[in-house]
Chain A
Amino acid sequence: MKIHEYQAKEILARYGVPVPRGRMASTVDEAEEIARDLGGRVVVKAQIHAGGRGKGGGVKLADGRDAAREAAQKILGMTLVTHQTGLEGRLVQRLLVEETLPIVKELYLGIVLDRGTGLPVVMASPAGGMDIEEVAAKTPELIFKEAFAPGTGLMGWQARKLAFSLGLPNEAISAAVKTIMALAKAWVEMDCSLAEVNPLVLTAGNGIVALDAKISFDDNALYRHKDVVELRDLGEEDPLEVEASKFGLNYIKLDGNVACMVNGAGLAMATMDIIKWAGGSPANFLDVGGGANKDQIGNAFHILLADPNVKAILINIFGGILRCDVLAAGVVDAARALDVKVPIVIRMEGTNVEIGRQILADSGLNFTVAQGMRDAAEKVVALAA
């Protein structure tokens, strides 16, 4: 789960990461009021769950309250397009208004889980403010790493090693160490999957401040962070994906016209792939899970049909233990109840598959039964064309 920059900064500040003074604003008036309280030059930043906001015109400097008001007017309500939003962009509904700081140097600090070692790893770099993947590709020697075990936590000497690698003046080392330790503690205690400060800045007074902050959380651990769940901004998510999540369906909207309903994540991805291979374009990823029962199939139809691009549906279920006659009856009931008009291709394997096929054939509904995945993909792509 992702959160906004201002929310990430609130969490990191609680752990002792220094952040600029500032607050969130959802109206122009609020933005002006915050600028007035802060005094002097402020920065007005669009709050969306995507990077590259500055280049897209979502970050503006403003001298004083009037200028801040003007900047807020421009950014609030705009559809911000960045390299991470896709062409449709994101509607800006919140702003962060913050003090500006005398920046001497921009650094990078981030923590991710390294799959290879099975440990969280802190990455620090003197090449801050840039895309860290770009730094890793072009100048990997400028990225310094320390792995740590969550039980014992990041050690002071590890944080010092990182701090000294950043080329900071001695007067700033202690603050940098504290910040690195604080970020590591937050990563573990808040069950983050990513905690990133880019840039982390050295200020003229040898202060260390998180100028930007990005946190995403491990969805599997949200059950123990009720306060984090409340930070979820549904406005940042696709409405159909939000709806699907209410039914416990794993749905991701894509831009094609062949919808698919599959049991299992790997098979669902493979089904998308074979639709593409057959010359079509998948409209979604949808894993209905192991218990593909009548209600869940109905819910899945409901979500798939709400996408106006969908021209045909492919149901690909490798039942195994799931009985195909029960599955077929569920599909027929759900399709009838929802009055599904688009053609449906069904490929299923498992116990009682012949009886299941007969149920589909006898239903009088617009079903095409396929044998195997290739046949299914070719049939559904032809029907969607």
Chain B
Amino acid sequence: MSILVNKDTRLLVQGFTGREATFHSEQMIAYGGQVVGGVVPGKGGSSHLGRPVFNTVADAVKATGANASVVFVPPAFAAEAVMEAADAGLALVVCITEGIPAVDMVKAWQFLQTKPATRLIGPNCPGIITPGECKIGIMPGHIHKPGPVGVVSRSGTLTYEAVGQLSALGIGQTTCIGIGGDPIIGTNHTDSIRLFNEDPKTEAIVMIGEIGGNAEEMAAAYVKEHVRKPVIGFIAGQTAPPGRRMGHAGAIISGGSGKASDKIKAMEEAGIIVCPTPADMGERVKAALKL
């Protein structure tokens, strides 16, 4: 089992013919996922990587029966692409694009409230993968392996770091979600942890956070209340100076809130095993699963 994506996921690529989209679509196809087509306004009727291209998401859904999309559209148009995908009724929209203006995302987020059937992952994220079944996004597929651990993280390469450690120890993953580094994201830590908690195959959850906002504190409260599976956590940015944006738009300590120490405290109080360094993630999971 897994969450959100599996071998039956039928994926569209928005912005299909772009350079990045082409490269990563090839990788997603090579991983074995069902990429059923793409959307590029004005290029409808053509074909790319052996898949049909459509002018609109609605056309693509009608012709292919797609139920998910991945957005590789440039930042100025990406929020709109997310809304178009939701309007076409897709159950899952994964937005990889980094650099979307916050006001555009606020508008898209408001629109998504009227489309409860659609879940957005991202933006500014590596995507989601169910090892051995379906990879949506830009993560390196080969470091993953199927197994019992669910991984959720705001950061891309730090997720790969965790997954790399797990796989090296022979511990596979049910699903790994990169939820994104922006202040407004479609799926947060709590949403992901709830899904992993309800997934019978997920035996432990790795939760990776970073400075900025209070999503980790909210997730910790959820874990305390509802989760009996082991949760292993790490928070990046313990040495980050306040008031500076650390790469991700959402990674900033502002007005005394969003500090790593507050998140770690909340997580520890919720019974989450917080790793002192990022090098400990794999070993702590191993210990928690008594492997």
A-B complex is real: yes
* Residues of A bordering B, CB below 8 Å: 84, 113, 115-116, 118-120, 132-133, 136, 149-151, 188, 191, 193, 218-221, 223-224, 250, 252, 254, 262-277, 282, 285, 287, 290, 318-321, 349-351, 372-374, 377
Whether B27 is near chain A, meaning CB under 8 Å from some CB there, is yes
Say whether B164 contacts A269, CB under 8 Å.
Answer: no
Closest chain B residue, CB of each to CB of A225: B101
What are some 6 contacts across the A-B interface (CB < 8 A)? Answer: A133-B255, A219-B245, A269-B236, A270-B278, A273-B277, A274-B279
Say whether B246 contacts A285, CB under 8 Å.
Answer: yes
Chain A residues, Cβ within 8 Å of B256: 133
Whether B184 is near chain A, meaning CB under 8 Å from some CB there, is yes
The winner among A150, A188, A193, A264 for most chain B CB atoms within 10 A is: A264
Say whether B255 contacts A220, CB under 8 Å.
Answer: no
Given contacts A133-B255, A252-B241, contact A266 B208 (CB under 8 A): yes
Bits for B255-291, please: 1 = Cβ < 8 Å to A, else 0. 1100000000000000000001111000000000000
Chain A residues, Cβ within 8 Å of B234: 270
In the complex, what distance in Å separates the CA atom of A14 from the CA atom of B103?
20
Say whether A374 contacts B241, CB under 8 Å.
Answer: no
Chain A residues, Cβ within 8 Å of B245: 219
Residue from A132, A133, A266 within 8 A of B157 (CB atoms): A266
Chain A residues, Cβ within 8 Å of B75: 220, 223
Say whether B240 contacts A285, CB under 8 Å.
Answer: yes
The winner among B107, B157, B248 for most chain A CB atoms within 10 A is: B157
* Residues of B bordering A, CB below 8 Å: 27, 75-76, 99-107, 109-110, 138-140, 142-143, 153-161, 164, 181, 183-184, 208, 210-211, 213-215, 218, 234, 236-241, 243-251, 255-256, 276-279
Given contacts A220-B100, A264-B156, contact A273 B184 (CB under 8 A): no
Say whether B160 contacts A218, CB under 8 Å.
Answer: no
Say whether B102 contacts A267, CB under 8 Å.
Answer: no
Closest CB of chain B to A340's CB: distance in Å? 24
Given contacts A221-B102, A252-B244, contact A321 B157 (CB under 8 A): no
Closest chain B residue, CB of each to CB of A86: B241
In the complex, what distance in Å separates the CA atom of A319 from the CA atom of B160?
9
Closest chain B residue, CB of each to CB of A187: B103
Chain B residues, Cβ within 8 Å of A151: 107, 110
Closest CB of chain B to A189's CB: distance in Å? 9
Say whether B248 contacts A265, CB under 8 Å.
Answer: yes
Say whether A223 contacts B157, CB under 8 Å.
Answer: no
Chain B residues, Cβ within 8 Å of A191: 101-103
Closest CB of chain A to B151's CB: distance in Å? 13
Say whether B213 contacts A115, CB under 8 Å.
Answer: yes
Given contacts A269-B237, A270-B158, A321-B27, contact A118 B278 (CB under 8 A): no
Residue from A113, A119, A277, A351 within 8 A of B277 (CB atoms): A277
Say whether B238 contacts A220, CB under 8 Å.
Answer: no
Closest CB of chain B to A136's CB: distance in Å? 8
The winner among A116, A273, A275, A373 for most chain B CB atoms within 10 A is: A273
In the complex, what distance in Å separates the CA atom of A209 from the CA atom of B156?
46
Closest CB of chain A to B258's CB: distance in Å? 9
Say whether A318 contacts B214, CB under 8 Å.
Answer: no
Besides A221-B102, A269-B211, 5 more A-B contacts (Cβ < 8 Å) are A218-B102, A265-B210, A319-B140, A349-B161, A374-B277
Say whether A118 contacts B110, CB under 8 Å.
Answer: yes
Given contacts A113-B102, A320-B160, contact A274 B250 (CB under 8 A): no
Say whether A119 contacts B140, CB under 8 Å.
Answer: no
Say whether A267 contacts B183, CB under 8 Å.
Answer: no
Closest CB of chain B to A186's CB: distance in Å? 12
Closest chain B residue, CB of each to CB of A117: B109
Chain B residues, Cβ within 8 Å of A372: 279
Residue from B106, B159, B213, B243 within 8 A of A149 (CB atoms): B106
